[in-house]
Amino acid sequence: MRVLGIETSCDETGIAVYCTEQGLLSHVLYSQVKLHADYGGVVPELASRDHVRKTLPLIEQALSEAKLQPDQIDGVAYTSGPGLIGALLVGATIGRSLAFGWQVPAIGVHHMEGHLLAPMLEASRPDFPFVALLVSGGHTQLVRVDGIGEYELLGESVDDAAGEAFDKTAKLLGLDYPGGPRLAKLAEQGVAGRFQFPRPMTDKPGLNFSFSGLKTAAATAIAENTNDEQTQADIARAFEDAVVDTLLIKCRRALEQTGLNRLVMAGGVSANKRLRAALAETMSKLGGEVFYPRAEFCTDNGAMIAFAGAQRLAAGQHAEAAVKVRPRWPLTELPPLNTPDA
């Protein structure tokens, strides 16, 4: 089954073609970073308009790179939430219209399920069950995964997500948008231990996260110290170390609570090198395994939507003709894979 995937939940237009027999046939991505850089963050209306301009040309490119004609596509998957409502509507409307014109089934994909399943695009895939750490600009969650659509939320952020805290702290440091990757780059030059920031909620039971206090600690350090380049790097390093340690502690706790030894990490923050190294070392000591997608599939992309959609379409699920999006959509509301016409 060949499925066209469309991702337009925020500020990236991602298109891909996935085949259930041959794997990923093509994927193309357009980032709106330059468009939003002058504003220091994503402007929803501008994001929607750019998706309108870019989606169809990228679909043509993805089909060309996959060496396929439209009549060779067996289904269409598009992100229907969570995300910016205008951006979601662009991809959903185009995806549903193409499916109608091509007379193939379509399905709306949960953005975070796409991230969660992105490691399945790699040669080494995790077996179910496992614990998933989903870390992005909008979400920080720990989820027990027993199968596709079989999700138990173990813990989540009660305020800022990890990626959001990265971006806000980067802005406090005067770094350009997108701030998270720039902060991580600056932290490479930082001296560990010069600043000590809290590891929020690690002294309390449970698996929820909180990063707003950590952001405040960084803001205080920035205000109270000379704003030279080395100090900025040292603050960035302290902030990154605190986030990594917090995520690490909570992951260990989740694995102990569930009795599992497989961990999947996905979402934009999963590209962080220090976090990857720390989790790999921890899982090695625990005799377990950690899985994550390649760097290009950590951020928003069409490949993860095409893959997730293909699994559900192949199981007989599909969306009704009406275009529906859900800017807010709990992951735990998704039906199991064996539920037809969900």
pTM of the model: 0.95
Q: In 3-state terms, the chain is what percent helix, strand and coil (to 5)?
A: 45, 20, 35
198 lies in some domain: yes
The Cα–Cα gap between 148 and 275 comes to 25
Q: Name the β-bridge partners of 79.
A: 109
Q: Let me know whether 323 and 205 are in one domain.
A: no
Rounded to 10 degrees, what is the CA torsion of 120, 123, 127, 131? -60
Tell me the per-residue pLDDT of 10-46, one tens digit each, with 9 for 90 and over.
999 999 999 999 999 999 999 999 999 999 899 999 9
In this model, does residue 340 exceed pLDDT 90? no
Domain ranges, residue 27: 2-117+297-333
Q: Let me know whether 16 and 157 are in one domain.
A: no
122 lies in some domain: no
How many structural domains does the chain have? 2
Q: What is the CATH number of the domain that holds 315?
A: 3.30.420.40
Q: Let me know whether 270 and 150 are in one domain.
A: yes
In the annotated binding site for substrate, the residues are 134-138, 167, 180, 272
Q: Let me know whether 15 and 149 are in one domain.
A: no
Q: Let me know whether 8 and 144 are in one domain.
A: no
pLDDT for 338: 80
215 lies in some domain: yes
Tell me the per-residue pLDDT of 88-108, one tens digit each, with 9 for 90 and over.
999 999 999 999 999 999 999
Q: Let me know whether 183 and 324 are in one domain.
A: no
Tell me the per-residue pLDDT of 204-236, one tens digit each, with 9 for 90 and over.
899 999 999 999 999 999 999 988 999 999 999
Q: Let me know whether 303 and 163 are in one domain.
A: no
Q: Let me know whether 85 and 207 are in one domain.
A: no
123 lies in some domain: no
Average pLDDT across the chain, whole number: 95
Q: Let me know whether 10 and 106 are in one domain.
A: yes
In the annotated binding site for Fe cation, the residues are 111, 115, 300
340 lies in some domain: no
The Cα–Cα gap between 311 and 317 comes to 9
Cα 55 to its chain centre, rounded Å, is: 20
Q: Let me know whether 245 and 318 are in one domain.
A: no
Residues in the chain, overall count: 342
- Which whole number is the average pLDDT over 73-97? 98
Give the ranges where 41-174 is alpha helix by DSSP (H). 44-65, 85-102, 111-117, 162-172
Residue the block writes with tokens 């070392």: 281
Q: Let me know whether 144 and 282 are in one domain.
A: yes
In the annotated binding site, the residues are 111, 115, 134-138, 167, 180, 272, 300
